[in-house]
Structure 1
Amino acid sequence: MPRKSFAELIDSPGMPVLVDFYADWCGPCKTMAPILQQFAAQHQGKLRVIKIDVDKNPAVAQQYRVQSIPTLILFRQGQPVWRQAGAVPAAELARAVGPFVTS
């Protein structure tokens, strides 16, 4: 199966895509990992969560002006609609992203 481009990954008709820009060496990124995993499980079929390693994908990080990690960006139909730099508590993530997730 061919590898999808970043543009193909975020252009998901009818389903928002939450992108976690992270790095393996980043402590706050490690804090976010289980929060995002649980969030993805709770919204399965309604939201896709993908992780982009900024060390392996610097061009994508630069394209979206990711200057600190973790940075979360929510895309709807390929367009960014919400972003947050830094670790986010689960309740805050649900409050911010919830309105974009279809029922």
Structure 2
Amino acid sequence: MAGDKVLTLTDANFGEQVENYEGVVLVDFWASWCGPCRMIAPVIDELAVEYDGKMKIGKVNVDENRATAAKYGVMSIPTLLVFKGGKEVDRLVGFRPKEDLKKELDKYV
């Protein structure tokens, strides 16, 4: 459920790919049973292509990676977290149109 440019993030690789990365990372916390998650998935794929080279974009399946979801207090999905220099700098909960997401992401690139 992710395009070629979208990283698959797990409990095992989250630290290396996100927390220890100096640049900007958008992380989509999702689940296969979540309707709004399925609606936002193609938008995330498009953003990954548009922001390629400017930021990493990855997805965490909350059913398979409960530790990471719990660590960041993800209570509703989809939840999009923006990290910069390994620290959470923004949080967007629920479906958002692509234009709204781009406005938020442009603050960090």
1:12 equivalent in structure 2 = 21
2:48 equivalent in structure 1 = 40
Q: Does 2:64 align with 1:56? A: yes
Aligned-pair identity in percent equals 40
Partner-residue secondary structure (3-state), 2:107: helix
Cα-to-partner distance string for 1:1-41 (whole Å, 9 max, x where unaligned)? xx96211111322x201000000111100111110111110
Cα-to-partner distance string for 1:69-95 (whole Å, 9 max, x where unaligned)? 000000011100010110111010001
In the TM superposition, what are the counterparts of 1:1-103 in structure 2 within 5 Å? 5-10=13-18, 11-13=20-22, 15-101=23-109
Count of residues paired in the alignment: 98
Partner-residue secondary structure (3-state), 1:12: coil
Report the Cα distance in structure 1 between the residues aligned to 2:68 and 2:21, rounded to whole angstroms.
17
Gaps of 5+ in 2: 1-9
Q: TM-score, normalised by structure 1?
A: 0.90
Gaps of 5+ in 1: none
Q: TM-score, normalised by structure 2?
A: 0.85
Q: Which runs of 4+ in 1 moved over 3 A?
A: none
